[in-house]
Amino acid sequence: MKVLKAILEDAQSILDIQKVAYLSEAEAYNNYQIAPLLETLDETRKDFGEKTVLKAVLNGKIVGSVRGYEEKGTCYVQRLMVHPDHQKKGIGKSLMLELEEYFPTCDRFDLYTGALSTGNIRLYKSLGYEQYKIEMIRENIEFAFLEKVNKVTVPISQNEIGAE
């Protein structure tokens, strides 16, 4: 499995996976009007111009994706998805870790997921994310908000080495 930057031509495949992957979320909340299921191909394509879109490729086929963008020092993580046939194999974790690599200068990473989505929350916590609030923001669903502080060390400049 490889994680690569997605290209615009991948938009349809990613949207198809999204529609299948988010069905379990819709079922958990008995709400099939959630944003990931209603998203159009044009909206997915628009994200390619505004966000970093990564894809997980296995045997030449896209099996997962994640999106992120930076704003004021924070990387906002969106639409982590893995096709149901390939879940629980570390693909989501690989996508998240690679996305974090794309934003090394961000101070923090921020995301939200359904508050009842215990598997998602467990994954994010295993990656160092901490829940900081629960809020109902749309679709009559409570969302858990999680963040991770970027602990990338800043290299010491040559001028500071040996200075007294």
How far apart are alpha carbons 62 and 56 in whole angstroms? Answer: 6
**158 pLDDT more than 70:** no
Q: Name the percent of the chain in helix, strand, coil, to the closest 5.
A: 40, 35, 30
The helix/strand count (H/E) of the chain reads as 6, 7
CB contact at 8 A, 99 and 52: yes
Query: What pTM did the predictor assign?
Result: 0.88
Closest CA to 14 of 49, 51, 66: 66
Residue 163 confidence (pLDDT) above 70:
no
pLDDT digits (tens, 9 = 90+) for 68-112: 999 999 999 999 999 999 999 999 999 999 999 999 999 999 999
Say what percent of the chain tops pLDDT 70: 91
What percentage of the chain exceeds 90 in pLDDT? 79
Residue 161 confidence (pLDDT) above 80: no
Instruction: Decide if pLDDT at 26 tops 50.
Output: yes
Average pLDDT, the chain: 91
Does domain 2-110 bear CATH number 3.30.420.240?
Answer: no
Res 162: pLDDT:
46
